Structure 1
């Protein structure tokens, strides 16, 4: 019989539901290819929680969430009003999956839940960027002290393994520069504007497509990109920093004339994240940048995201992803759980 990893999931939004969908769709592959069974033993959203050490049926939970809403009213053990931290205290699990909404002011309740889970000897897998942006060094140290994994490949460009490649594959590398287009919403808007739409029209189209939130400020003002650059700096560059250390300027000031002028000169404008060596650390910035059409990131359009690593011994490497919807991000969380399983074996 395949070994079992017990997981507790916080957040049943698009990504959380996507993860449950993958548990159902990939059950046979997980067993056949990795010798793994993933058992959901607890889940929580803003309405409450459900706990069952014997396992919760993902199909039933998904059906309830889609048709009835909050899982506090789940007919098979739902506990209305039970907060996520209390669920973590009571759950029987090996891994905490954190996919709750981003709260960059305090990181809560995700940060409290992660502290509890790590103190209880669980691994942690995150799609939520806020705890890492606010407390990466603390959480990393707490996981190391317990001999557990803090995995978060889903937080930077979803399924594109930006963090994994940097941490695992770029061994003995010194970076001369890292550049990235890390936000699909702003990239979609700039691409639509290049096709002749105004900023307002492009933003509306992005909202209709489901790429942009009703309040798109986190994306278009550059802060989502800055969050991801902060995570890369701490985890890949091993440069302890906070969001305040990133110079940030978004795309609101970019107009049709700017894009047309750049194109006429053989360039394109992208919202660019850049890490450049500076003294013993790095200069981190997010800003609209004019890139020559020959630049790898110049061809990252629409929903796509991409990264270019400039290294001293492994050349210049480029990777991009075209991902739409929440499944690729959920798949990155699944990837982290599988890698935790591999490490245990």
Structure 2
């Protein structure tokens, strides 16, 4: 019988326990598809006594996860510790240095250190796989790296954070404000006690950086992602978008060309005619546009023990088959170091919401600021007074350079009429 693929698991949280459960449940089928069994031989986590709902007594226990790299009965290390640096990165480096292939679900580590790890894996003829790092169980990395490999990808974009999508679609359905829905999401386990990485867009930016590298053959450039989260989206914005024929979604958007590499995570108004407008709850969805294949849509559960474990084990099956390939679809040294695109030159329509004092002359002041910056207004709507006496003004612009909108808002920020920060959302073309 063919020798099994022996794996070590570092991290026995929700996903780690899910990997064990999946291998136990579907082991025979997985062995047939992989051509050999896939067996866990060693594990490491912070608490040996914790009940995880799976039997870990049958595996070798290692206190220091980095020691898994030197375990004699391990072929592949699966890193599920998390974090861009610290123990996770130490383990990744140690595993590749010791001749072990590496599978990880760690988007932060791959976004920050993926190029280094890819070079190490390729130099040692090892596998580095990270399907589970983006969109949970949705096979978007494999789809871009393999299924769309013959295409020039013009743009990749999508809903990359389930927590934010749950909050926004819940606000949309129930008309409640952000803070109230966030508390509910935390109670249900969709959001962490400290939700900053999710609601401020950092988690989505990690994933977008990885997608951009695979899609465009670009060196990972997380530090160049422009990030705006959703914590300042109001129920009034959701309602205004609905009245205009849109839904609000936090999108990661990236494209590449002569202008350089553009990467942005930002709330968008998505037209109802676009499939992303109909993605609700904690679902993730990614759109890729290829020059021969056309528009591809990848959609499914973006988190959770089952979907993420499924992606981890899919990577292990590839390794068991001997299917390695470069982690970013081309050798790491062939990845281009691209200039950062100037977002100010991008042309689009915009939604701008201003909270202003309810007094004479405010609308004229807003219109003058827009005019002076060269922004053409398609519609301007003023809603009734709030409890504090302020009013909401919602503006939709005609298509124009983003720099003009930024200049208008910068001028308005100094106005005594403005109450709070403006909200600027981009309008996605259909």
Decide whether the 8 Å contact of 2:249 with 2:267 is kept in 1.
yes
User: How far does residue 119 in structure 1 lie from its aligned partner after superposition?
Assistant: 1.4
Structure 1 stretches lacking a partner, 5+ long: 49-63
| Equivalence map 1:153-302=2 (5 Å) | 153-195=131-173, 196-279=175-258, 281-302=260-281
Instruction: Mark the structure with the bigger radius of gyration.
Output: 2
> 1:67/1:127 Cα in 2 relative to 1: closer, same or farther (>3 Å)?
closer
The aligned counterpart of 1:38 is: 38
Q: Deviation at 1:183?
A: 0.4
For 2:99, the equivalent position in structure 1 comes to 121
Residue 18 (structure 1) aligns with? 18
Mapped to 1, the partners of 2:9 and 2:269 lie a distance apart of 41
Aligned pair in 2 of structure 1 residues 170, 344: CA closer, same or farther (>3 Å)? Answer: closer
Aligned to 2:95, the other structure's residue is in SS state helix
1:323 offset after TM fit, Å?
Answer: 5.4
The range that moved more, 329-338 or 115-124, is 115-124
The alignment's C-alpha RMSD in Å is 2.2
Q: Distance in 1 between matches of 2:259 and 2:117?
A: 23
**How many angstroms apart in 2 are the aligned matches of 1:324 and 1:116?**
27
Query: In the superposition, relative to structure 1, how do residues 243 and 32 fare at CA in structure 2: closer, same or farther (>3 Å)?
Result: closer
TM-aligned CA distance change 1:323 to 1:158, over 3 Å: closer
CA contact (8 A) 2:212 2:255 kept: no
- Alpha-carbon distance in 1 for matches of 2:40, 2:184: 37
Partner of 2:88: 110
Secondary structure at the counterpart of residue 236 of structure 1: helix
Q: Are the equivalent residues in 1 in contact too, given 2:241–2:248 (CA < 8 A)?
A: yes
Checking the alignment, whether the CA contact within 8 Å between 1:296 and 1:308 is kept in structure 2 is no
Deviation at 1:278, TM superposition (A): 4.1
Distance 1:260-1:343 versus aligned 2 partners, 3 A rule: same
CA distance in 1 between counterparts of 2:218 and 2:120 reads 18
- Structure 2 partner of 1:66: 51
Q: 1:120 to 1:200 in 2, by over 3 A?
A: same
CA distance in 2 between partners of 1:314 and 1:289 (Å): 25
> What whole-Å deviation, never above 9, does each CA across 1:291-320 have from its counterpart, x for those lacking one?
110112111111111011112111111121
- What is the total number of aligned residue pairs between the two structures? 322
8 Å CA contact 2:156, 2:253 repeated in 1: yes
TM-score normalized by the length of structure 2: 0.71
1:44-96 Cα deviation digits (max 9, x unpaired): 11247xxxxxxxxxxxxxxx641799x8xx697645xx311123223421111
Task: Confirm or deny: 8 A CA contact 2:41 2:59 kept in the other structure.
Answer: no
Point out the more displaced range, 272-281 or 245-254.
Answer: 272-281
